[in-house]
């Protein structure tokens, strides 16, 4: 069913008049790198990821347009998941997995409600070559490499169509403080329903398009304004989990029914156009054999030329 949903979404998003196609232009680009090296310093579980967005549309006036498909986002992602011990995992630990994704999403607003709707194709397994990348990277920097046994028992090759829908509303608590409760549904590679809230202290980020990172829940800037200064962000959410291709029950890995995230970060931008972001996220236990949660860090740095 998800294959047909993704196909219908892509077709609907691409339906536009010739005038719309001519007027659509690139409006922005955003990215976020996440790694537990920037957090608790371990090399385990949700160990590393990258997500980037390229956005096209007719114009940006401080909020998403009303029309579905007017504002389009090409989303690319990569993630490596690993057991706690990448040499000799304990029985019941999660298997190694590499995931690459490409997707098309659209952002629009109806009344106070902001929508993000899209579909991704998620490629799993050795076909992604992410295990080879990590092995070579660790070898270069003299870091413990995943064993051949861990790599050979990784999640196998698969392609999972995935649908992601988010809706939220932004409320101003003051001139420089906003709160945004949201709901998210995801079906495909992982199937879950999530509810949470984001809190921003500072003007930086307001009137911009912010894209949610799938691993941490942090929102990164994809269409940026001319603000300079700092903003502090806090967020938390909880998910009810139905299924995960990363946690195969036939291997004795039992997914937890719920999943929690708590995050904090700071974004900044100078008048010279240098901007950055650093955030920390606590990820709760995702499966029954996981002994504790983990802390991952997320970074972004940009210099305008």
CA angle (168, 172, 178) in 5-degree steps: 70
Closest CA to 184 of 115, 234, 109: 115
According to CATH, what is the number of the domain 2-302? 2.40.128.140
Q: What is the pLDDT along the chain (305 residues), one digit of tens a residue?
A: 444 444 444 444 444 434 344 488 999 999 999 999 999 999 999 999 999 999 999 999 999 999 999 999 999 999 999 999 999 999 999 999 999 999 999 999 999 999 999 999 999 999 999 999 999 999 999 999 999 999 999 999 999 999 999 999 999 999 999 999 999 999 999 999 999 999 999 999 999 999 999 999 999 999 998 888 999 999 999 999 999 999 999 999 999 999 999 999 999 999 888 999 999 999 999 999 899 999 999 999 998 76
Residue-range domain boundaries for the chain? 2-302
């Amino acid at each position: 069913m998800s294959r047909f949903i993704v196909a219908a979404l892509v077709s609907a998003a691409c339906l536009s008049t010739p005038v719309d196609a001519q007027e659509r232009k690139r409006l922005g680009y955003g990215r976020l790198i996440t790694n537990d090296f920037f957090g608790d310093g371990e090399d385990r579980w949700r160990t590393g990821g990258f997500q980037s967005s390229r956005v096209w549309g007719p114009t940006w006036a401080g909020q998403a347009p009303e029309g579905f498909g007017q504002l389009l986002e090409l989303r690319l992602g990569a993630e490596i998941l690993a057991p706690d011990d990448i040499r000799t995992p304990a029985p019941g630990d999660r298997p190694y997995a590499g995931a690459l994704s490409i997707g098309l999403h659209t952002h629009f607003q109806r009344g106070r409600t902001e929508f993000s709707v899209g579909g991704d194709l998620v490629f799993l397994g050795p076909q992604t070559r992410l295990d080879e990348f990590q092995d070579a990277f660790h070898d270069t920097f003299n870091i413990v490499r995943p064993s051949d046994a861990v790599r050979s028992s990784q999640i196998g090759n698969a392609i999972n169509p995935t649908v992601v829908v988010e809706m939220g509303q932004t409320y101003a608590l003051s001139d420089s403080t906003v709160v945004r409760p949201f709901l998210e549904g995801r079906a495909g590679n992982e199937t879950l329903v999530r509810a949470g809230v984001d809190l921003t202290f500072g003007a930086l980020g307001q009137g911009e398009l912010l894209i949610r990172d799938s691993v941490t829940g942090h929102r990164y800037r994809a269409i940026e304004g001319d603000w300079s200064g700092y903003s502090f962000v806090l967020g938390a959410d909880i998910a009810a989990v139905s299924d995960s291709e990363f946690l195969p029950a036939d291997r004795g890995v039992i997914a937890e029914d719920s999943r929690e995230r708590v995050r904090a970060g700071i974004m900044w931008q100078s008048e010279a156009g240098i901007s950055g972001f650093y955030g920390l996220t606590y990820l709760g236990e995702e499966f029954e054999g996981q002994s504790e949660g983990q802390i991952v860090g997320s970074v972004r740095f940009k210099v305008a030329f």
